[in-house]
Each structure stands twice: as structure tokens, then as C-alpha cells.
Amino acid sequence: MLSMGITLTPDDFVRVSKEPGAVIIGFLLCYVLCPALGFGLGKAFNLPLDLIAGLVLVGSINGGQASNLCTYIAKGDVALSVLMTTVTTIAGIFMTPLLCKLILGAVVPVDAVGIAKSCLQVVLAPIVVGMAANKYLPKVVEKVLPVTPVIGVISTCMLVASAVAQCAPAITSAGLNLQLPIMLLHLISGLIGYWIPRWLNFTETQSRTMAIETAMKSSAFGFLLAKLHFKQYGTRVPSAVSVVWMALVGATLAVIWRFIPVQDEKKSS
Amino acid sequence: MKGILSSFILLIILCSAKIAYAYVPLHLHQLSIRSNAFATKNVASSSTGRYRNPSSSSSLMMSEIAAVGPKETKKTSKLWDAYLKTTDTLTTLFPLWTVLFAGLALTRPESFAWFSTKYFTASLGIMSAMIYIIYQIPLMPLYKRASIRCIDALHGHHSDS
């Protein structure tokens, strides 16, 4: 979300789309590893059912919008990050309701159709609008561009504050027993999201990108889904805690990697 | 609650200092990059050879583009650069704002009551559209080219192999 620093060309996207393997593994990490990890951590910490449902929901949503910024800081592949966010976002229309229904359907009532509709409205429609604006209104985009970082920062602050404020009593009373599993959800998924690609012989740059993409989720979107489509109040609490932890974990991983140089890497395919 | 809050703040102070430190020198090198993705297209395609090199990371490519296009810098005023630098620093420090606003929301939840679900939804929509506006990704040409390359890759026709 920087107005300078990051420049991507169409060729960058052609380059990353030539290697769909990274996107496929990123997809699996996002929609298989994270929900399972959320469920496991919820059980391990003996959380009440509505909080476990909330943790699984955090695991089952698409990659966060800030992941591309963290990828840039971590010296990862920003084009790959954007592509993975786009893929998980589009797939989220059916993956998020499907996972919630499959994992949580027996535990809490899930409005799968409602979730899918929200995904279409809140996440997918803006992507289409954003891309179309570039194609058809380039002059308007040119004028709006310098203001976008400010809008981005304000939006992020308000989303975080609003989500946390609505759950403030629950967050305060749950204490560390809630903070810890959510922090671990992002941290462990980030570490596994790094080591699995490394083990599969992806490059250091690709692995960093996939790790950050896996660790960072659209938690604010998860909060909205929980609020609109889950009847239990408790399901929205983990998302509200996660908005902070996903930013912290993602940024921490990014800063650590920034100081570890990318070795001259050779891809063995 | 105070314990959680203070540990949050401690963590973020540690993080933000590192991020700020990591960022300042980088900006000095990259001041010239404030241009439309398509404006640099020619530059990018002229160095396609480098792009194909799997060992070069995206940040490397960015600095290469920066090195090729220094003329653009002269057009932009110093004030403008300062503005861009400030907003970029603000953006980079987003974990700090996240924690500060979370702390504020925990201690004074009533001050954010006016931010209704309508505003929340709108903000999410804006955030979602943002990266596609910032990276200036157009809809169709990219999709067409990307899907063709995807099919090529699936069939094992790597153009660079």
C-alpha cells in the first residue's frame, strides 16, 4: 500500500503466473492448514465452542490485504503476493462458507449462503471495481493514487478500533487464554507456511512470500462475517483479537527477514 | 487487561523501531519510483532477460527500474517527495497504528460506537479495491495474458527452458 517503492509491471504478473505451483501451495496453506490449526489450537486451549468457531472462521478466510506490504518489507515477491491474495479472495466465495459448514456446521448454526453473498459484495466487487477503474478511468486513478496511503491507514485504524471496541468486554475478560491461541494461529501458520515451501524446493523469495500470505488473514472481514452470519456473539471475538495479531506477526516476520539476506538461490524443479 | 495492553505496546515499540530503521535508507534510494506501472513498461521489457533470471528477487528488479529512470525525479518537487515519504512511513508503521487503536478501543470502546456496520463494510471494500488501484492492475489484458501463460505452464512449455 505504498505510493512509491513498489512498482509492479504486467510482466511481473506474467512471470508469477508461469509458476502456478506456488499459488496452489499457498491456496492449500490458506484453506487447509489454517482452519485445521485454528480448530486444533481452540481444542488445545480448551476454549468454549463459540470461540473455537471464531478461530476456525479466522483460519478459513482469505489472505490479508496488508500481506503485499509485508512481503515487500521481507524482500519477497510482491507480484506473487498480490496474485495469491487475489486467488484466495476469489476462492473465498465458496471456500469460506464451505469450510465453516464442514467444520462448524455441527457445532454452531452457519449461514453459508449469507457468507458467500458477503464475500461477493465486500471483497470481490471492489477488486473488479479497482481493476476496471484502472482500465477505463486511468486519469481518475492517477489523481486518487497519492491519497490512497492515507485512506488505507485511516481505514485500517478504524476497522481495527471498531472490531476491538465491539468486543472489548469479552477480550478483557478472556485474557491471555484467548490472546495466546490467536497469536499462535498466525505465528505457527507463518512458520509452517515457510518450511513447507522450503521443503518442496521453492525459492527463499517464494517461501517468504507464501509464509506471510499464510500468516496474514483478512481478520476484519472475518469479524464482519461473524457479526452478520453467526448467531453466537462469541464467534466474532477471535476475529477482533486477530486483527491485531495478524498485523503484528506478519510485520515481525517481515522485519526479521528483511535483515536476513536472500542467498543466491537456484531453483531445482 | 493492563498487562495485555502493556505487552502489546512493548512489542510494537520494538517492532516499529526496527521497521523505521529498516525503511529510512531504502526510501532514499528509491525516491524516483513514483510512476505508473505502464510508464515503466518499456524499461521492464527491455530488461526481460533479467526478469527471467530466477535468482533475482522482486526488490532487486525494483531497484533496477529505479536506476534506469532517474529523469522522473527532477520533475517532482521536494515537497511532493516529502509528502510521499511521510505517507509511506505512515503506511509502513501500520502495526503501530493497529496496536494503538486496539488499545484505545479496549479502554474507550464507546468512542468508536459511531462507526456502524455500514462504515465497516465500506472501509473493507475500500481496502480490498486499494491494492488493485495502487499496483494499477487492469482487468482484461492481464487476465488474458496470465491465463495463456498458466495454460502454457500446465502443459510444461516453459518459454525460458
Any domain includes A107: yes
Asked whether the beta carbons of residue A171 and residue B106 sit closer than 8 angstroms, the reply is: yes
Q: Which chain A residue lies closest to B145 (C-alpha atoms)?
A: A14
Which residues, including other chains, have CB under 8 Å from residue B27's CB and lie 6 or more apart? Answer: A4, A5, B85, B88, B89
Domain region containing A64? 10-258
Q: Which chain A residue lies closest to B107 (C-alpha atoms)?
A: A168
Any domain includes A27: yes
- How would you write the pLDDT of chain B (161 residues) with one tens digit per residue? 445 545 544 444 444 444 444 444 343 333 333 333 343 333 333 333 333 333 334 444 444 444 444 445 555 688 888 888 888 888 888 889 999 999 999 999 999 999 999 999 999 998 888 888 877 666 545 555 555 555 565 565 544 43
Query: Does any CB of chain B come closer than 8 Å to the CB of residue A69?
Result: yes
Any domain includes A137: yes
Q: Helix, strand or coil for residue A231? A: coil
Any domain includes A266: no
Per-residue pLDDT, B143: 53
Distance separating the N- and C-terminal Cα atoms of chain A: 32
CATH number for A15:
1.20.1530.20
Query: In degrees to the nearest 10, what's the CA dihedral of A76, A78, A80, A85?
Result: 120
Number of domains in chain A: 1
Percent of chain A residues topping a pLDDT of 70: 95
Per-residue pLDDT, B36: 39
Asked whether the beta carbons of residue B153 and residue A17 sit closer than 8 angstroms, the reply is: yes
Radius of gyration of chain B (CA): 21
Per-residue pLDDT, B6: 52
Any domain includes A264: no
Report which residue type is found at A21: G
Task: With beta carbons under 8 A apart, name residues in chain B contacting A169.
Answer: 109
Return the residue in A7, A23, A205 with the most chain B beta carbons within 10 A, the one to mutate for interface testing.
Answer: A7
Residues 4-43 of B with CB under 8 A from A: 4, 8, 11-12, 15, 18-19, 22-23, 26-27, 30-31, 33-38, 40-41
Which residues, including other chains, have CB under 8 Å from residue A221's CB and lie 6 or more apart? Answer: A61, A62, A122, A123, B124
Per-residue pLDDT, B48: 36
Say how far apart CA A207 and CA A212 lie, in whole Å: 9
Average pLDDT over residues A19-38: 93
